[in-house]
Amino acid sequence: MTKTALVTGGTRGIGLGISRCLAKAGYRLALCGRKSQADVEASLEELRGLGTEVVYCQGDISRHENRENIIQKIKQEFGSLNVLVNNAGIAPAERADILEAGEESFDKLIGVNLKSPYLLTQLVANWMVEQKHDNPAYSGSIVFITSVSAVVASVNRGDYCISKAGLAMAAKLWAVRLAEFDIPVYEVRPGIIATDMTSGVKEKYDKMIEEGLLLLPRWGTPEDIGKTVAMLCNGDMLYATGEVITLDGGMTVPRL
Q: Which is the catalytic residue, given 56, 160, 186, 239?
A: 160
**How far is the C-alpha of 24 from the C-alpha of 15, rounded, in Å?**
14
**How far is the C-alpha of 174 from the C-alpha of 178, rounded, in Å?**
6
**How far is the C-alpha of 109 from the C-alpha of 112, rounded, in Å?**
5
- Is-catalytic flag, 160? yes
Catalytic residues: 160
